C-alpha cells in the first residue's frame, strides 16, 4: 500500500511538485550540450504533442460554465426560494406535505432554498476562472455574493435580534422532517464551505477579504452592499443545532430523520425524552422507521468537525465521531460493514456488504477525516460544555467521552486501511475485469453481482489514498458503462449484462466525473480529459431543457425525469469545471483541504487548530487494534508512464478492452457516429461514413470513451487475454435411496447443509451434492502459487475464508472405493532420475508410448512450473481407465493437477501434443534431469524385510521447478550406485555388487525370488553398500490354454518370499535385504540400468472396496497417475481378440531377446558422484 496523497490531491501543489521535471543543464561544449538537452526534454515534448490542445480544454471549460449557468439562472428565475427546480415542467419542486412517506422528496427538501446553498461553493470556484471575454470570474464572484445576500434576506443572519429574522423565518425554523445525513452534507456543508470562501480561507483568485481574525468585529464589505460578518457560519450553526436531537440514541447511531422545528417526538424510545424531561408526543399511525445506513450515520464527521472548530462548540464533532465509531465497531469479524443498521437496536438490517449505496461515503469519510485532522489536534476539551436542557442539547453527556485515540487523525487512517483490506479480500474480483461484488457481511460469500452508479466514487477515493493501480482499473469499467448508455444506470448487473431490476435512472450523479477528476490530477493522463469531454457532450445532448438540466428516468430509452437535483450544480458541474481548469487555485493549494461527499471543499484554518504536540507525543491508533493490515511505506506512487508515443498510459493498457467486453460495448451500436445522409440507408457491418473530411466508424464502441481520438491509441497495441475464471463443477453420484431429483433440491433447498457459525458449511449428505471450485493465484501470481478454492456447495456461495466440513461418517456411506483410501506400505512410488538428454530412440513424445518405452508415466516440468503428463497404455477397458472414470479420481486430478494447456480426452486423461512437450523440454535446459515414476510392490512372506530408512524422494507433484528451484531438483535421490545383475539365478554375484553398490537391478524369471536374493553375497551394511533390490517383471504371461498373452496389472499380486533370507553359504541374514517388484519388462530394466539415481516415495495408496478386496488398479501417490506398464505394443493385438489380450510375436523370440538383453547388461554398474 502506498502513502496517502492527502494534501497531494486535495492540496494539489504537492502533486505538481511530484510530477515536475527538473533539468540541470551544465555548460558543456558543442554537441554534448545539445544532446543532453534534447534527451531530457524529449519526454516533455512527446507528452505535450499527445495531450489535448489548450484551446480545446478552454472550450470545454467554457461549455461547463455555460452548463452551470443554464441550470443556476433558471433555478433563481423560476424556483428560488424553493428547494429545487422541475426543468421539464419549468416550475419549482417542493416537499410533498400530503405524503409524509415520500422519502425521495421529503428527506432532501427542507424548505430552505437547498439548490442555492448547494451551489454557492461552485460559484466561488467559478469566481477564479481565467480572464475571458465573458468575464466569467467577476460574474461568478458577484453571483456568489448576491446568493449569500439572498439567503440572509430569506433566513436572517443567524443572530437572536431583529437581524436574525428573515422573510421565510428565523434561521431554519421550519416544520420540515428531513433526513439528517442529507441535511448535513447539503445544508450544513454548503453553508460552511461558502463561509470559508467568504473569509478567504479557501482561495478565490483576485478576492482579498483582508484580515479575518475577527470577522464579526471587522466585517468584509462587498460591492453588493452586504457586510459579511459570518452570517453563513451562524446559519450553519442554527441548522446543525436543529439536528442534535437525532443523536439521542442508546447506540450512538443517530436517528435517520428529525423535524427542524419539533425535534424527534416521533422516536418515542429516545433517551432525549427521559433525560431532558420531554416525554414526547403520542404518535398516531405506524411507528417511525429507525433504520439508518452506514453512510448516513458515519458520514457526518467532516462537516461537524469543521463546524466545531470554526465555532468552538465541540458538541457536533464529538457526536459525529461517536456515530462513526458506532458504525465501525459493528463491523463483522472479517472487517465488512453492512448498508442498513437499526439506530435503536444497533443491529444490521440486511446481510449485504458493498462499496456502493448505503455504505459508500463511510469509507470516504474514514480517509478524508484523516486528511482534515492531520496537524489539527483536538482541543483539550472532551467533556460537555454544560448540562443539557430543552434550550441547550448536548447528546454527548449521555455517553462516555471519546478517547484521545478516537479523536486522532491516525485512528481514522487505520480504520480506512482495515476497511480497504477487507474490501480487497472479500468484495474485489478480477473475473473478466476488476470490479466489486456485494457479499454477505459475516462470511464474505458473494450475494449479488451488480454495481451501482454511487460506487463510481470509489476509484477517486483510492486515488486519494494512493492506491492508484486499483483506482485506474476499476474506473475503466464505469467509463465503459457510461460509453454504452451516455450515463450510468442506477444498477448494472455484471452477471446478466443488463440493467439490474429496472433501476435504470441517472439523476445527474457526480461520482463518475469526481473520480475522473481525481485520476487526472494524479496521473495527468489526457485520456481522462477525453472522458470528461464525453460526459459533458452526453449531458448536453440528453439532459438539456429550456429551464435547466434534467436527469434521465431510463438510460436505455433516454426518457427525462422532471427534476434537477441540487447536487448537479453543487457537484457534477463543479468537478467537471475543475477537471478543465488546470491552474485553478484549488488545484494548486498545498493544504489539507477535502471535498465532502457533496463536493463542498472544507478546511480547518490553522488559527482554529490547537497547538500540535509534535510527532514524538502525538497519539495514534494501535496497529494491532484492527488486526494485521498493510501499512503505508511512506512513498506516493508514481504516475503510470506512457508505453508508446501516443502519450497516454491508459489508452495503451493491455487490459483496457476487458472492461469494454464485460460491459458488452463490442455488441453495442455507436450512437455517437454521425447518421448517413440517406435515412433509409443504414450502414452495414464494417462500413464507414464521411463527415466532412473525416471517416467515422459506425460499428460499435470498440474505442472508449467515444471522444477519444485515434492519435491517442498505440499503433501496435495488443490486448491481453481477458482473465476468465477457471472453474470445476463436481456432482457426487446419487445413491439408490435418493430418488428425489435436483429440481426438488433447487426448490426447497439442500437439506444436507448446515452452517457452522461463521466458519463455513457442514456437509451432512454427499449423494447428489454439487460442488464448484475456482482456480486462483496467490498475490504473487506465479504458476506454482495456483490453488483451488471451493466457492459453492449445493447452491450456497462460500466466502474466501469459509471452510467446508465433512464428517467421516458422511464419507463412509459412499460406494466409490477411492473415498476409503488408506495408506498402505505394500505400494510405493519408485522415482527414477534420468539424464535430461534422451537416448536417440523413439523421440515421438506425443504418442502414449514414451521415449524410454511403453508404460512409463513421466512428468515433463514446464517453464511455468506446471507438469505435462504423458500416460502410456491403451484406450481399452484396463483397470487404470476404469479408475479415471471414477468420480472422485477425476476430482483429485482436476484439483491437484489442473494442467490448463492439456487436452482432456473422453476418459479424463490429460495428454499433450508432441510440439508442446518438446517446446517445454527446450525451455528447461537449465535442469539436468528429468523424473519418471512407476509403482513398486513390497513382498510378503517369511523372507520379506522393511524398506530401508532413507530420505524419501520428492513426490512427482513437488517436482515442479523454476529457476530458483533448479538446484534443489538436481540433487541426487537416495541410491546413486547401481549394479545390473540379470536374472541372478545361476551363480553368486561378485562381492563388489553388494559391497560397493546401493541398488541391484534383477530380472524376474529363471528361479524364485528367494533364490535370487540367496545369490547376493554377504556384506557389511552401510550407507554405500546394498540398500535394496529391485526386481523387474515382464508385463505378460502366456495363457496355457489359448496361448494368448495376458496383461499383468501392477498391484494385483505381491511377490512371495517363502523362505527366510540366507547368504550364498546358507547362513541366515541378520538384516534381510529389502526388495521391490516393478513391472515394465525390458524398457524399465534398461531405464533403471542407465538411471542417474533412484529413490522411493511412500505416498502411494490403494483403495478397499465394499467387499474388502483390493481394486485392480490402485492410484499411486498424492498426485501421480498409476502407470500401466505394458511391454507389448498395441499394434500386436490379435484380430478379434478381446481388449487387454495380446498375442506376442513369438514367445521363444521374446525369451531370446530378453536373454540377449540380460547378457548385454549383466554385470554393469555405475555410480553417480556425490
Return the active site residues. 182, 360, 490, 511
**DSSP summary character for residue 572:** I
Which residue bears the cell 445544508?
Answer: 187
Residues 6+ apart with CB under 8 A from 512: 453, 456, 478, 479, 482, 488, 535
Which triple of cell numbers denotes residue 519?
485520476
As annotated, the binding site for Ca(2+) includes 597
Q: What number of CA atoms fall less than 13 Å from residue 438's CA on the CB side?
A: 23
Distances (CA, A) of 1082 to 64, 1089, 1148, 1157, 1160: 85, 10, 15, 8, 12
Q: Within 13 Å of residue 1046, how many CA atoms lie on the same side as its CB?
A: 9
List the grid coordinates of 451. Answer: 454495481
Q: Which helix (H) or strand (E) holds 468?
A: helix 468-485
CB 568 within 8 A of CB 71: yes
Cβ atoms of residues 304 and 240 within 8 Å: yes
Distance CA 99, CA 96 (A): 6
The Cα–Cα gap between 93 and 915 comes to 72
Strands (E), 327-385: 340-342, 348-349, 352-353
Residue 178 C-alpha cell reads as 428531513
Question: What's the rounded Cα separation, in Å, for the pair 1002 and 782?
Answer: 43
Please report where in the chains the cell 469566481 appears, as a residue. Answer: 127
In angstroms, rounded to a whole number, what is the distance separating the alpha carbons of residues 694 and 680?
A: 22
Query: Which residues touch 861 (CB under 8 Å, ≥6 apart)?
Result: 867, 920, 924, 927, 930, 959, 960, 961, 969
* Distances, alpha carbon 1083 to alpha carbons 80, 280, 1111, in Å: 96, 95, 26
DSSP reduced 3-state for 653:
coil
Place of cell 417511525: 288
3-state SS class at 725: coil
Name the residue with cell 453571483.
Answer: 143
Say what the alpha-carbon torsion angle 641, 647, 649, 651 is, to the nearest 10 degrees: 180
**Measured CA distances, 468 to 47, 465, 519, 863 (Å):** 20, 8, 8, 32
- Grid cell, residue 708, equals 477519444
Q: Are 1128 and 1144 in contact (CB under 8 A)?
A: yes
φ/ψ (deg, to 5) at 588: -120, 5
Buried b / exposed e across 641-656, counting CB within 10 Å, b at 16+? ebebebbbbbbbbebb
Integer Cα distance of 60 and 81 in angstroms? 31
SS3 sequence, 120-135? HHHHHHHCCCCCCCCC
DSSP-derived secondary structure for 249-297: -SSSPPPSEEETTTBSTT-TT-HHHHHSS-------SSPPP-EEEHHHH
Please give the angle made by the CA atoms of 274, 279 and 280, to the nearest 5 degrees.
120
Q: Which secondary-structure segment (H or E) carries 787?
A: strand 786-793
Instruction: Report the C-alpha dihedral over residues 281, 287, 293, 298, rounded to 10 degrees.
Output: 20
State whether residue 548 is helix, strand or coil.
strand
Return d(Cα 1115, Cα 866) in angstroms, integer: 21
- Collapsing DSSP to helix, strand or coil, 307 comes out as helix
Backbone dihedral angles phi then psi of residue 582, each to the nearest 5 degrees: -60, -40
Amino acid at each position: 500500500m502506498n502513502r496517502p496523497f492527502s494534501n497531494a490531491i486535495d492540496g494539489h501543489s504537492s502533486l505538481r511538485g511530484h510530477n515536475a521535471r527538473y533539468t540541470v543543464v551544465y555548460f558543456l561544449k558543442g554537441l554534448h550540450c545539445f544532446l543532453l538537452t534534447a534527451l531530457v526534454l524529449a519526454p516533455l515534448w512527446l507528452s505535450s504533442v499527445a495531450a489535448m490542445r489548450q484551446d480545446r480544454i478552454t472550450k470545454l471549460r467554457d461549455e461547463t460554465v455555460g452548463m452551470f449557468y443554464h441550470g443556476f439562472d433558471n433555478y433563481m428565475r423560476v424556483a428560488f426560494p424553493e428547494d429545487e427546480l422541475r426543468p421539464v415542467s419549468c416550475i419549482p419542486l417542493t416537499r410533498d406535505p400530503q405524503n409524509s412517506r415520500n422519502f425521495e422528496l421529503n428527506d432532501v427538501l427542507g424548505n430552505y432554498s437547498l439548490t442555492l446553498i448547494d451551489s454557492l461553493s461552485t460559484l466561488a470556484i467559478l469566481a477564479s476562472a481565467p480572464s475571458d471575454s465573458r468575464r466569467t470570474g467577476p460574474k461568478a464572484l458577484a453571483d456568489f455574493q448576491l446568493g449569500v445576500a439572498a439567503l440572509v434576506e430569506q433566513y436572517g443572519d443567524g443572530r437572536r435580534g431583529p437581524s436574525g429574522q428573515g422573510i421565510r423565518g428565523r434561521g431554519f425554523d421550519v416544520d420540515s422532517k428531513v433526513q439528517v445525513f442529507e441535511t448535513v452534507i447539503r445544508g450544513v456543508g454548503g453553508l460552511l464551505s461558502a463561509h470559508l470562501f467568504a473569509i478567504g480561507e479557501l482561495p478565490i483568485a483576485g478576492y482579498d477579504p483582508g484580515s479575518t481574525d475577527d470577522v464579526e468585529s471587522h466585517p468584509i464589505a462587498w460591492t453588493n452592499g452586504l457586510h459579511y460578518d459570518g452570517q453563513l457560519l451562524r446559519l450553519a450553526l442554527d441548522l446543525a443545532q436543529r439536528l442534535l436531537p437525532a443523536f439521542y440514541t442508546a447506540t450512538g447511531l443517530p436517528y435517520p430523520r428529525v423535524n427542524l422545528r419539533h425535534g424527534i417526538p416521533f422516536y418515542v424510545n429516545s433517551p432525549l425524552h427521559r433525560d431532558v424531561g420531554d416525554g414526547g408526543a403520542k404518535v398516531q399511525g405506524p411507528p417511525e422507521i429507525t433504520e439508518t445506513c452506514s453512510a448516513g450515520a458515519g458520514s457526518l464527521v467532516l462537516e461537524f468537525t469543521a463546524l466545531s472548530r470554526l465555532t468552538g462548540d465541540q458538541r457536533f464533532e464529538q457526536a459525529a465521531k461517536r456515530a462513526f465509531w458506532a458504525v465501525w465497531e459493528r463491523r463483522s469479524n472479517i472487517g465488512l460493514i453492512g448498508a442498513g443498521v437499526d439506530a435503536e437496536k444497533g443491529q444490521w438490517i440486511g446481510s449485504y456488504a458493498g462499496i456502493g449505496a448505503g455504505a459508500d461515503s463511510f469509507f470516504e469519510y474514514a480517509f478524508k477525516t484523516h486528511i482534515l485532522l492531520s496537524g489539527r489536534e483536538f482541543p483539550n476539551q472532551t467533556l460537555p460544555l454544560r448540562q443539557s436542557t430543552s434550550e441547550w442539547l448536548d447528546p454527548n453527556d449521555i455517553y462516555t467521552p471519546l478517547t484521545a485515540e478516537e479523536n486522532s487523525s491516525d485512528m481514522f487512517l487505520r480504520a480506512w486501511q482495515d476497511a480497504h483490506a477487507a474490501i480487497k479480500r472479500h468484495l474485489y474480483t478480477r473475473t473478466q475485469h476488476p470490479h466489486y461484488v456485494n457479499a454477505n457481511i459475516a462470511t464474505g460469500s458473494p450475494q449479488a453481482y451488480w454495481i451501482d452508479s454511487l460506487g463510481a466514487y470509489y476509484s477517486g477515493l483510492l486515488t486519494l489514498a494512493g492506491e492508484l493501480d486499483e483506482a485506474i482499473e476499476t474506473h475503466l469499467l464505469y467509463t465503459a458503462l457510461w460509453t454504452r448508455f451516455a450515463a450510468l444506470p442506477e444498477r448494472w448487473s455484471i452477471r446478466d449484462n443488463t440493467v439490474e431490476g429496472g433501476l435504470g435512472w441517472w439523476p445527474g450523479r457526480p461520482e463518475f466525473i469526481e473520480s475522473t477528476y481525481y485520476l487526472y490530477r494524479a496521473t495527468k493522463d489526457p485520456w481522462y480529459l477525453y472522458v470528461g469531454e464525453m460526459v459533458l457532450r452526453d449531458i448536453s445532448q440528453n439532459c438539456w431543457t429550456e429551464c435547466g438540466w434534467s436527469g434521465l428516468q431510463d438510460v436505455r430509452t433516454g426518457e427525462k425525469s422532471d427534476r434537477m437535483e441540487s447536487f448537479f450544480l453543487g457537484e457534477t458541474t463543479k468537478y467537471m469545471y475543475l477537471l478543465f481548469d488546470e491552474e485553478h487555485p484549488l488545484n494548486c493549494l498545498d493544504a489539507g483541504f477535502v471535498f465532502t461527499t457533496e463536493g463542498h471543499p472544507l478546511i480547518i484554518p490553522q488559527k482554529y487548530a490547537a497547538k500540535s504536540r509534535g510527532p514524538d507525543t502525538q497519539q495514534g491508533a494501535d496497529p494491532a487494534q484492527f488486526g494485521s493490515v498493510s501499512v503505508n511505506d511512506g512513498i506516493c506512487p508514481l504516475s503510470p508512464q506512457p508505453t508508446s508515443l501516443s502519450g497516454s498510459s491508459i489508452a495503451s493498457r493491455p487490459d483496457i478492452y476487458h472492461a469494454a467486453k464485460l460491459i458488452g460495448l463490442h455488441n453495442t451500436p455507436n450512437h455517437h457516429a454521425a447518421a448517413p445522409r440517406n435515412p433509409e440507408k443504414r450502414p452495414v457491418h464494417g462500413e464507414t461514413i464521411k463527415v466532412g473530411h473525416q471517416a467515422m466508424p459506425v460499428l460499435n464502441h470498440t474505442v472508449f470513451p467515444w471522444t477519444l481520438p485515434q492519435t491517442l491509441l498505440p499503433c501496435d497495441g495488443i490486448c491481453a487475454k481477458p482473465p476468465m475464471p477457471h472453474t470445476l463443477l463436481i456432482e457426487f453420484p446419487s445413491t439408490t435411496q435418493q430418488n428425489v431429483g435436483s429440481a426438488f433440491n433447487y426448490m426447497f433447498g439442500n437439506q444436507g447443509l448446515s452452517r457452522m457459525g461463521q466458519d463455513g458449511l457442514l456437509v451432512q449428505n454427499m449423494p447428489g451434492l454439487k460442488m464448484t471450485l475456482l482456480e486462483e493465484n496467490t498475490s504473487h501470481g506465479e504458476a506454482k502459487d495456483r490453488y483451488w478454492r471451493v466457492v459453492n456447495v449445493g447452491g450456497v456461495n462460500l466466502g474466501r475464508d469459509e471452510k467446508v466440513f465433512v464428517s467421516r461418517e458422511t464419507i463412509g456411506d459412499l460406494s466409490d472405493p477411492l473415498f476409503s483410501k488408506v495408506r498402505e506400505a505394500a505400494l510405493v512410488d519408485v522415482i527414477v532420475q534420468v539424464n535430461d538428454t534422451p537416448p536417440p530412440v523413439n523421440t515421438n513424445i506425443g504418442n502414449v508410448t514414451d521415449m524410454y518405452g511403453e508404460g512409463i508415466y513421466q512428468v515433463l516440468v514446464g517453464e511455468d512450473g506446471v507438469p505435462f503428463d504423458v500416460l502410456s497404455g491403451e484406450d481399452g477397458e484396463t483397470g487404470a481407465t476404469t479408475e479415471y472414470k471414477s468420480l472422485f479420481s477425476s476430482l483429485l486430478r482436476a484439483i491437484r493437477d489442473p494442467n490448463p494447456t492439456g487436452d482432456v480426452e473422453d476418459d479424463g486423461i490429460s495428454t499433450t501434443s508432441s510440439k508442446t512437450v518438446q517446446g517445454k523440454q527446450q525451455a528447461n535446459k537449465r535442469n539436468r534431469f528429468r523424473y519418471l515414476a512407476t509403482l513398486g510392490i513390497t513382498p510378503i512372506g517369511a523372507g520379506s524385510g522393511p524398506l530401508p530408512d532413507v530420505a524419501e524422494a520428492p513426490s512427482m507433484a513437488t517436482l515442479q521447478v523454476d529457476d530458483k528451484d533448479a538446484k534443489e531438483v538436481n540433487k541426487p535421490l537416495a541410491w546413486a550406485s547401481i549394479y545390473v545383475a540379470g536374472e541372478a539365478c545361476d551363480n553368486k554375484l561378485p562381492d563388489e555388487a553388494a559391497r560397493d553398490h546401493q541398488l541391484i537391478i534383477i530380472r524376474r524369471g529363471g528361479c524364485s525370488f528367494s533364490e535370487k536374493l540367496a545369490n547376493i553375497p554377504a556384506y557389511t551394511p552401510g550407507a554405500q553398500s546394498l540398500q535394496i533390490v529391485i526386481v523387474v517383471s515382464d508385463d505378460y504371461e502366456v495363457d496355457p490354454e489359448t496361448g494368448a498373452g495376458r496383461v499383468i496389472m501392477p498391484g494385483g499380486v505381491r511377490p512371495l518370499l517363502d523362505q527366510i533370507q540366507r547368504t550364498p553359504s546358507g547362513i541366515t541374514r541378520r538384516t534381510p535385504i529389502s526388495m521391490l517388484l516393478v513391472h515394465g519388462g525390458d524398457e524399465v530394466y534398461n531405464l533403471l540400468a542407465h538411471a542417474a539415481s533412484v529413490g522411493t516415495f511412500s505416498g502411494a495408496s490403494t483403495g478397499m472396496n465394499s467387499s474388502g478386496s483390493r481394486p485392480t488398479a490402485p492410484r499411486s501417490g498424492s498426485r501421480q497417475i498409476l502407470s500401466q506398464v505394458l511391454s507389448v505394443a498395441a499394434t500386436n493385438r490379435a484380430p478379434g481378440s478381446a481388449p487387454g489380450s495380446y498375442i506376442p510375436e513369438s514367445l521363444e523370440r521374446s525369451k531370446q531377446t530378453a536373454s540377449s538383453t540380460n547378457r548385454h547388461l549383466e554385470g554393469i554398474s555405475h555410480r553417480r558422484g556425490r
